[in-house]
A = this chain, B = another copy of it.
Protein backbone atom coordinates (compact mmCIF):
# COMPACT_ATOMS: atom_id res chain seq x y z
CA UNK A 1 0.00 0.00 0.00
CA UNK A 2 1.33 3.42 -0.99
CA UNK A 3 1.28 6.49 1.21
CA UNK A 4 -2.08 8.27 1.34
CA UNK A 5 -2.58 11.08 -1.16
CA UNK A 6 -3.22 14.63 0.05
CA UNK A 7 -6.66 15.94 -0.86
CA UNK A 8 -7.19 19.69 -1.29
CA UNK A 9 -10.61 21.34 -1.50
CA UNK A 10 -10.44 24.54 -3.58
CA UNK A 11 -13.49 26.06 -1.90
CA UNK A 12 -14.33 27.96 1.25
CA UNK A 13 -17.79 26.37 1.44
CA UNK A 14 -18.37 24.81 4.88
CA UNK A 15 -21.13 22.71 3.30
CA UNK A 16 -18.68 21.07 0.86
CA UNK A 17 -16.14 20.49 3.60
CA UNK A 18 -18.84 18.91 5.77
CA UNK A 19 -19.94 16.55 2.99
CA UNK A 20 -16.36 15.36 2.48
CA UNK A 21 -15.70 14.97 6.21
CA UNK A 22 -18.93 13.04 6.77
CA UNK A 23 -17.82 10.69 3.99
CA UNK A 24 -14.58 9.90 5.80
CA UNK A 25 -12.27 12.29 3.92
CA UNK A 26 -10.08 14.98 5.49
CA UNK A 27 -9.29 17.61 2.86
CA UNK A 28 -7.12 20.64 3.39
CA UNK A 29 -8.84 23.85 2.26
CA UNK A 30 -7.13 26.32 -0.07
CA UNK A 31 -9.38 29.10 -1.37
CA UNK A 32 -8.91 29.93 -5.05
CA UNK A 33 -9.69 33.65 -5.12
CA UNK A 34 -11.16 33.24 -8.62
CA UNK A 35 -13.33 36.18 -9.72
CA UNK A 36 -16.50 34.25 -10.56
CA UNK A 37 -18.24 37.22 -12.15
CA UNK A 38 -15.49 37.47 -14.78
CA UNK A 39 -16.33 34.03 -16.22
CA UNK A 40 -19.18 33.31 -18.61
CA UNK A 41 -20.42 30.24 -20.51
CA UNK A 42 -23.31 29.47 -22.89
CA UNK A 43 -25.32 27.33 -20.41
CA UNK A 44 -25.65 27.08 -16.61
CA UNK A 45 -24.22 23.52 -16.72
CA UNK A 46 -21.16 24.67 -18.66
CA UNK A 47 -20.77 27.72 -16.45
CA UNK A 48 -20.66 25.51 -13.35
CA UNK A 49 -18.03 23.24 -14.95
CA UNK A 50 -15.86 26.09 -16.22
CA UNK A 51 -15.95 27.79 -12.80
CA UNK A 52 -15.02 24.51 -11.10
CA UNK A 53 -12.09 24.12 -13.50
CA UNK A 54 -10.98 27.70 -12.86
CA UNK A 55 -11.06 27.22 -9.08
CA UNK A 56 -9.23 23.88 -9.15
CA UNK A 57 -6.71 25.19 -11.68
CA UNK A 58 -5.90 28.31 -9.67
CA UNK A 59 -5.24 26.25 -6.54
CA UNK A 60 -3.35 23.45 -8.37
CA UNK A 61 -0.92 26.06 -9.69
CA UNK A 62 0.18 27.02 -6.17
CA UNK A 63 3.31 25.57 -4.61
CA UNK A 64 1.42 24.53 -1.48
CA UNK A 65 -0.77 22.17 -3.53
CA UNK A 66 2.19 20.32 -5.06
CA UNK A 67 1.60 16.57 -5.13
CA UNK A 68 -2.03 16.82 -4.02
CA UNK A 69 -5.33 15.91 -5.62
CA UNK A 70 -7.22 19.21 -5.96
CA UNK A 71 -11.03 19.33 -6.09
CA UNK A 72 -12.90 22.41 -7.33
CA UNK A 73 -16.69 22.82 -7.45
CA UNK A 74 -19.22 25.46 -8.39
CA UNK A 75 -23.01 25.37 -7.98
CA UNK A 76 -25.80 27.27 -9.71
CA UNK A 77 -29.57 26.87 -9.63
CA UNK A 78 -31.09 26.75 -13.11
CA UNK A 79 -34.64 28.06 -13.24
CA UNK A 80 -36.36 28.98 -16.51
CA UNK A 81 -33.01 28.56 -18.28
CA UNK A 82 -31.29 31.15 -16.10
CA UNK A 83 -28.41 30.48 -13.71
CA UNK A 84 -29.18 31.86 -10.27
CA UNK A 85 -26.41 32.39 -7.76
CA UNK A 86 -26.74 34.03 -4.36
CA UNK A 87 -29.59 36.54 -3.99
CA UNK A 88 -28.66 40.23 -3.97
CA UNK A 89 -30.49 41.06 -0.75
CA UNK A 90 -33.46 40.15 1.45
CA UNK A 91 -35.97 41.59 -1.01
CA UNK A 92 -34.47 39.50 -3.82
CA UNK A 93 -34.52 36.35 -1.65
CA UNK A 94 -38.20 36.93 -0.82
CA UNK A 95 -39.14 37.50 -4.46
CA UNK A 96 -37.26 34.37 -5.53
CA UNK A 97 -39.01 32.15 -3.00
CA UNK A 98 -42.41 33.53 -4.02
CA UNK A 99 -41.62 32.62 -7.63
CA UNK A 100 -39.95 29.25 -6.84
CA UNK A 101 -42.54 27.73 -4.49
CA UNK A 102 -44.53 24.87 -5.99
CA UNK A 103 -42.11 24.62 -8.92
CA UNK A 104 -38.92 22.73 -9.83
CA UNK A 105 -35.40 23.87 -10.62
CA UNK A 106 -32.19 22.06 -11.49
CA UNK A 107 -29.12 22.38 -9.30
CA UNK A 108 -26.01 22.15 -11.48
CA UNK A 109 -22.70 21.56 -9.73
CA UNK A 110 -19.49 21.52 -11.74
CA UNK A 111 -16.67 19.33 -10.43
CA UNK A 112 -13.03 19.31 -11.44
CA UNK A 113 -10.26 17.11 -10.04
CA UNK A 114 -6.61 17.81 -10.86
CA UNK A 115 -3.81 15.41 -9.94
CA UNK A 116 -0.88 17.78 -9.49
CA UNK A 117 1.51 14.81 -9.31
CA UNK A 118 0.76 13.76 -12.91
CA UNK A 119 -0.84 16.89 -14.38
CA UNK A 120 -3.92 14.90 -15.35
CA UNK A 121 -7.36 16.39 -14.78
CA UNK A 122 -11.00 15.49 -15.28
CA UNK A 123 -14.25 17.42 -14.90
CA UNK A 124 -18.01 17.04 -15.19
CA UNK A 125 -21.26 18.66 -14.07
CA UNK A 126 -23.89 16.75 -12.07
CA UNK A 127 -27.53 17.85 -12.22
CA UNK A 128 -30.20 17.30 -9.60
CA UNK A 129 -33.84 18.29 -9.93
CA UNK A 130 -35.21 20.12 -6.89
CA UNK A 131 -38.95 20.18 -6.23
CA UNK A 132 -39.75 23.18 -4.07
CA UNK A 133 -42.58 22.98 -1.57
CA UNK A 134 -45.08 25.71 -0.84
CA UNK A 135 -43.93 27.71 2.17
CA UNK A 136 -46.46 30.29 3.30
CA UNK A 137 -45.70 34.01 3.06
CA UNK A 138 -45.07 33.94 6.85
CA UNK A 139 -42.59 31.06 6.49
CA UNK A 140 -40.77 32.84 3.66
CA UNK A 141 -40.56 35.99 5.76
CA UNK A 142 -39.18 34.02 8.74
CA UNK A 143 -36.67 32.25 6.49
CA UNK A 144 -35.39 35.44 4.90
CA UNK A 145 -35.17 37.06 8.36
CA UNK A 146 -32.89 34.18 9.45
CA UNK A 147 -30.30 35.46 6.97
CA UNK A 148 -29.51 31.98 5.64
CA UNK A 149 -30.74 32.42 2.05
CA UNK A 150 -28.51 35.43 1.46
CA UNK A 151 -25.39 33.25 1.56
CA UNK A 152 -26.37 30.36 -0.70
CA UNK A 153 -26.78 29.77 -4.43
CA UNK A 154 -30.48 29.66 -5.31
CA UNK A 155 -31.47 31.22 -1.95
CA UNK A 156 -32.01 27.79 -0.33
CA UNK A 157 -30.10 24.87 1.16
CA UNK A 158 -31.07 21.25 1.68
CA UNK A 159 -29.14 21.07 4.95
CA UNK A 160 -30.46 24.19 6.65
CA UNK A 161 -33.63 26.00 7.64
CA UNK A 162 -35.13 25.67 4.16
CA UNK A 163 -35.00 21.85 4.20
CA UNK A 164 -38.70 21.63 5.20
CA UNK A 165 -39.57 23.81 2.17
CA UNK A 166 -38.10 21.37 -0.37
CA UNK A 167 -40.46 18.46 -1.06
CA UNK A 168 -37.91 16.26 -2.74
CA UNK A 169 -35.16 15.89 -5.29
CA UNK A 170 -34.32 13.61 -8.18
CA UNK A 171 -30.59 12.93 -8.17
CA UNK A 172 -27.79 13.19 -5.68
CA UNK A 173 -28.53 15.31 -2.59
CA UNK A 174 -24.87 16.20 -2.01
CA UNK A 175 -24.84 17.78 -5.44
CA UNK A 176 -27.52 20.20 -4.20
CA UNK A 177 -25.58 20.95 -1.02
CA UNK A 178 -22.45 21.61 -3.08
CA UNK A 179 -20.55 18.44 -4.03
CA UNK A 180 -21.67 15.11 -5.49
CA UNK A 181 -19.82 12.26 -3.79
CA UNK A 182 -20.80 9.63 -6.41
CA UNK A 183 -19.48 11.95 -9.15
CA UNK A 184 -16.31 12.67 -7.16
CA UNK A 185 -15.83 8.90 -6.80
CA UNK A 186 -16.01 8.49 -10.60
CA UNK A 187 -13.65 11.42 -11.28
CA UNK A 188 -11.12 10.06 -8.77
CA UNK A 189 -11.44 6.61 -10.38
CA UNK A 190 -10.69 8.26 -13.76
CA UNK A 191 -7.42 9.36 -12.14
CA UNK A 192 -6.79 5.83 -10.80
CA UNK A 193 -7.58 6.69 -7.16
CA UNK A 194 -10.29 4.67 -5.40
CA UNK A 195 -12.13 7.05 -3.06
CA UNK A 196 -11.73 4.54 -0.23
CA UNK A 197 -7.93 5.07 -0.47
CA UNK A 198 -8.53 8.65 0.76
CA UNK A 199 -10.43 7.62 3.88
CA UNK A 200 -8.89 8.63 7.18
A interface with B by C-beta (< 8 Å): 19, 22-24, 128, 133, 136, 138-139, 142-143, 146, 158-161, 163-174, 181-182, 184-185, 194-196, 199
Contact = CB atoms under 8 A, between A and B. Distances in A.
B166 A169 contact: no
A128, A133, A146, A172: residue with the most chain B Cβ atoms closer than 10 Å: A172
Contacts of A181: 163-164
B199 A163 contact: no
Nearest to A143: B196
A156 to B, nearest CB: 12
Contacts of A138: 194, 196
Given A167-B182, A168-B170, A182-B168, A161 B24 contact: yes
A142 B200 CA distance: 12
A22 B195 CA distance: 27
A16 to B, nearest CB: 13
A109 to B, nearest CB: 13
Contacts of A196: 138-139, 142-143
A101 to B, nearest CB: 12
A194 B181 CA distance: 33
Nearest to A19: B163
A131 B116 CA distance: 33
Contacts of A143: 196
Nearest to A23: B163
Contact of A169 (B167, B173, B195): B173
Given A182-B165, A182-B167, A160 B22 contact: yes
16 contacts: A19-B163, A22-B163, A23-B163, A24-B160, A24-B161, A139-B196, A142-B196, A163-B182, A164-B181, A164-B184, A164-B185, A166-B182, A168-B171, A169-B169, A169-B170, A169-B173
A181 B172 CA distance: 17
